[in-house]
Every structure is written in C-alpha cells, then in structure tokens.
Chain A
Amino acid sequence: MSSNLASTHLPITDGLLVVVKDECETCHLTIPVLEELIRGEEPVAVVSQDLADFPPGMEVIHDLELDISWKLSTETTPTIYRIRNGEVVDQQEGWLRSGWERVAAVNDLGAGLPDQRPGCGSDTMLPETYQRLMRRHSPHRLASRRVELGSSEDPMEAAFARGWTDGLPVTPPTEERVATMLQGTALPPDEVVCVLPPDLAECTVEKVAINAVMAGCLPEYLPVVVAGVRAAATSRFNIHGISATTYFTGPVLVVNGPIRPRIGMNSGINALGQGNRANMTIGRALNLVVRNVGGARPGGVDRAALGSPGKLSFCFPEDEEGSPWEPLSVERGFSPQDSTVTLFAGHGPIEIVDQRSRTPESLAKTFALQLRMLGHPKIAGLSDAIVVVSPEHARVFREAAWSKARLRQEVLSSLTLPSDRMVAGADGVAEGMPPHLAAARPRMSKFAPDGLWFVHAGGDAGMFSAIISGWIGGAASSQMITMAIDS
C-alpha cells in the first residue's frame, strides 16, 4: 500500500516518528518512553490519529485525515519509525522494548514497563476509512458516469431497475468498492482491454472492475476476469454468436496454474457447483461484462430458446495436483508455471455414470457412449466437449498408465460411426446427417477436429465424470481460447 497523494509529506525528513492514538491502551503505556525520546537529541514527531491533545502536554501532529498514517502504511498503534531522507528505514509495531531500542538507537528504554505489549489496529484499517483513503489517494480518476441515487433508493434495487443485473442481486458498485477492486491489477483503469461484441464497445479495465464488484469478486480475482474478457472478445471465441444463438451455450471458464490456490478456488468436492466465492463470481463477472458492456441481454441479442443455468456463471479450476495427466493449459501450449484461463462455449454438465469399469478400455467406451448423444445421436462432425474426469475415474486410467492422448484416441475411435446409421431418416428419425455427406464416406466422426478435451476435477468419492457439451465445434463457430493471466 503506498500513497500517491503528492501533497502528503512526512512531518520530518530525519529522526523518529511515532504514530499513536488516545483510544489505544498500549499507546498510553508508552507515554513515558515518548517523553524520554523527546528529551533526547534526535528530532521526534508524535502523530496522533484521534485526539489533537494526546498525549497530553506534548507537541502533537494531529493526523485528522489520516493522510500521514496512510502514507506510512501504518497498521498498528503505536508504531515507531526511523525516518532517513524522508523515507522509512526501520519500524517497530506495538510496544517491544528491544524493537524500540533498535529503531531509536537508545538503550534501556521504558524502565518499569513490561518487555512487550501488542498494539491496537490503526484507524486507517477501519473498513470504511480504508476505502475512503484508498479513493482519496488513488492516482487514477475513474471515468465512468456517476449514477446518483435518491436518499430513499435502495442501491440493490437501483441496479435491478437500471437493467444491470443477471437476475440476482449485485453488490452496488460504489466508487470506493471499484477503487478497491482496481488494487487487484497493475493495469491502469483507462486501459482498453478489448472491443467487446456484440455492441463492439470499448471495454476498459475500469468497466471490468465495476462488473467484478457487482459479481461479488475480490480484487485478487480481477486478473482472471480481465483475461477472460480478453479471451471472450476474440473472433475465434465469437462471443457475439454465443450470445445470439438459440442454443444453450455460454462461456465456460477453466482456470489453470498457480493462481488457483492463491485465490482459493475449489477444484475438489462440488467443483462445478456452488459454494466457492472465486469459482462463482469470476464466471459471473465475465457474463455481467458481456451483458453490460457488450450489450448481450436475453430477449435482445441473446435469443437462447432455453439457455442454461451456467450462463450465470460456469467457472472452475482444474485439479492439477491430483491429475494423472498434464494440465489443460500445458496441452494448450503454456508452461505449468503459467496461470491461464481457458474459455469454452459450453453448457451442462451432463453426467457420465460408470461404477463398474475397472479397465481403461471399458471406461473409455462408457465415455464414448455418453458423448454420442451430444446434440443428437445422429449428428456428426460438429460436436465439441470438455470431459471433466473425476478422481475415481482418473484412477482407472492412471493405474493402466493411459495418457490423455491415448484416451482421446480411443474415445474418438469409438465415435467414428457408420454413416448409414447417422443419415437423416435412419431409424425412422428425420434428424441426422444430409444424405450427400453420408454417401460420401462409410463412417463419420462425431467430433469436430480439436473438439474433445479432458480436465481433472472433483471430489475423491464418486465414479461419475461430467461432460460439458459445446456449441458447434470448429472455426465456423467458436474455438477454445486459452489466455495467460497477468497477475
């Protein structure tokens, strides 16, 4: 935390500075020590956070607006600082005799005092004060329009009334909250992340941050959301088509790399479900950006016949540590040390139940049987999907030393289907492949090229895996995009 408020200077450039407050018992305890230091030869500045006349009888600098404490990043009172050439070179929080003696370069300080006593929280750390100071000291002026609410207007209801929400309540995006959110990225708020379809509107970091606040994100999630928005705006991903289609699809986010544990994502029990803030809000933030900045709203550009609950949020991390295979991000060309977000146009999940297979051959055939029904059992060449392989199913492949490539090859082989069973009209069903395509080759592949992916996630118990079904695979519609997360 550092201040950029140019007008804030420390009251001394060389010497000792102590931040105290009347409300703090430990500060009262150290009054004799302050008196002792003031009697010494060095300049001593005593800065009080609350009362102008505390400690009594001393020349005190009253830090009424807490700008000095903010500049010093004070977290505890009392804190003694050694200032040299206007910079802090040493400090001690609370009362610790040896620490104060080190900072002050004085021996035998505070005779009769206990050796140590913990301090109190600095007033700068009070949540509302912290946000006020963050806003006050931010080097950036936020550019978005201020929507002023009436005194009796409920901010949550105001967000609904203005059409900003996905149907669930949002956290009201106040300037303080947005400024706090922006602490999660080194990018300046006015940087354009992308030009976002369908409205082809410029989407700045600030707009992403506002929507991330509304979604309920913490600042440390923001880089994932920014990368997700960047990926969504690519023509290969085609968020315009994904938004406009009558199909079920929305953006699915798979997070890989060291950022997953750092921001507390859940790749274990209920990985695709509710209950984890990062999983739930990162996906939601992306969808809110697409809605509010991109302009894709249900009934407007979004023409989904039925849609799917995942269009609110569908985001999870891969369980890389428990996986028998390389992570999705590595398959996509990144290093295991890279944090990435992969976007896939999908919906689901659709279950794969197999509690009996103990050989990889049998389990791969089960996967293929269930994957055949995506879209329609007689549609070929267009499907794509992510199979989320649970630990108990992954164990079967691990024990048999099947690579991911081997599994993919076996499943695709099982899904190269006889054309006479796939053709329109076969089995008395009008749906199916056009006769001229079916006549051209004896067998046809269910999946589009590069259309079948495997990731590892889920709780330790349960011989169930999950299919995240895609939209229409291939360059004509939407292709999986993996983007590095800058954090």
Chain B
Amino acid sequence: MTALLDPTSERATQTRSLSPRIPDLTNGTVALLDISKPRGDIFIKRLEELFSQIEVSVRHYRKPTFSKPAPLDLRQRIAAECTAVVEALAD
C-alpha cells in the first residue's frame, strides 16, 4: 500500500455561522471603512448620505494600505465603537 505524506498544514476548516443580523440600526453606529483604494471615498460618501437620511450615525475608519490585512487595533476599535461595519472593499 502506498502512503503519501500530507503536504498541507493539516488544519481542519472551522465553520463559523454569520453574526446575528441587526434588526434595525436605531441608536447604533455604523463604521464606514475605507481600505485606501481609488474611488472608495465616493462609495463611502454616498453611504453616509443614505445613512443620514434614515438618521443613523456613522464613524469613519481607514486602513493604512489595502494590500495588507487591517491592523488588529483598528479591528478592535471598530468592534468597540460601532454596531455594524460597511467596508469599501474594492474600486
């Protein structure tokens, strides 16, 4: 019988369910995360207008660079200060 050595990290994929959906945004704060890609500002500005029409407050955040994962402190700050986050992921 042939046996091969596993070339992978041998990690099992963990399945996680989505966070519970937020029933409404009243009294909540939405993080608007710009990842520093071209035209992200246009998308975020439009979202801010739409959120203000339904009287939802927003806070602005920005990744230092789109080419690396968001720093841990930024992620923790968003989690502590906001109830939801919208990320302008790409141009």
The chain A residues found within 8 Å of chain B, CB to CB, are 142, 144-151, 153, 155, 158-159, 164, 172-175, 178, 196, 199, 201-203, 206-207, 210-211, 214, 235, 238, 240-241, 245-246, 288, 292-295, 434, 471-472, 476-478
A144 touching B2 in the complex, CB below 8 Å, given contacts A477-B65, A478-B67: no
Are A148's CB and B11's CB within 8 A? Answer: no
Are B2's CB and A164's CB within 8 A? Answer: no
Q: CB of B46 within 8 A of chain A? A: no
Are B67's CB and A147's CB within 8 A? Answer: no
A144 touching B1 in the complex, CB below 8 Å, given contacts A476-B67, A477-B65: no
Are B5's CB and A174's CB within 8 A? Answer: yes
A150: chain B residues at CB < 8 Å are 1
Residues from 1 to 46 in B contacting A, C-beta threshold 8 Å: 1-11, 38
Are B67's CB and A173's CB within 8 A? Answer: no
Bound-state Cα–Cα, A253 to B69, Å:
24
A241 touching B68 in the complex, CB below 8 Å, given contacts A151-B1, A246-B90: yes
B10: chain A residues at CB < 8 Å are 144-145
Are A292's CB and B68's CB within 8 A? Answer: no
Are A201's CB and B9's CB within 8 A? Answer: yes
Contact check: which of A153, A240, A292 meets B9 at CB < 8 Å?
A: A292
State how many angstroms separate the Cβ of A125 from the closest Cβ of chain B.
23
Contact check: which of B4, B11, B38 meets A201 at CB < 8 Å?
A: B11
Are A245's CB and B5's CB within 8 A? Answer: no
Are A148's CB and B65's CB within 8 A? Answer: no
The chain B residues found within 8 Å of chain A, CB to CB, are 1-11, 38, 64-65, 67-69, 90
B8: chain A residues at CB < 8 Å are 164, 292-293
In chain B, what residue has the closest Cβ to A165?
Answer: B7
A199 touching B1 in the complex, CB below 8 Å, given contacts A238-B67, A240-B68, A477-B68: no
Bound-state Cα–Cα, A293 to B9, Å:
5
Are B67's CB and A203's CB within 8 A? Answer: no
Most buried by A among B3, B4, B8, B9: B4
Are A238's CB and B5's CB within 8 A? Answer: no
A174 touching B7 in the complex, CB below 8 Å, given contacts A240-B68, A240-B69, A241-B68: no
State how many angstroms separate the Cβ of B73 from the closest Cβ of chain A.
15
Are B2's CB and A174's CB within 8 A? Answer: yes
B5: chain A residues at CB < 8 Å are 142, 144-147, 173-175, 178, 206, 210
Bound-state Cα–Cα, A173 to B3, Å:
8
A149: chain B residues at CB < 8 Å are 1-4
- Complex A-B, nearest 9 residue pairs according to Cβ-Cβ distance, in ascending order: A201-B9, A476-B65, A477-B67, A241-B67, A145-B6, A144-B5, A146-B3, A292-B7, A210-B7
Are A174's CB and B3's CB within 8 A? Answer: yes
Are A147's CB and B65's CB within 8 A? Answer: no
A196: chain B residues at CB < 8 Å are 9
State how many angstroms separate the Cβ of B89 from the closest Cβ of chain A.
11
Bound-state Cα–Cα, A159 to B6, Å:
10
A158: chain B residues at CB < 8 Å are 4
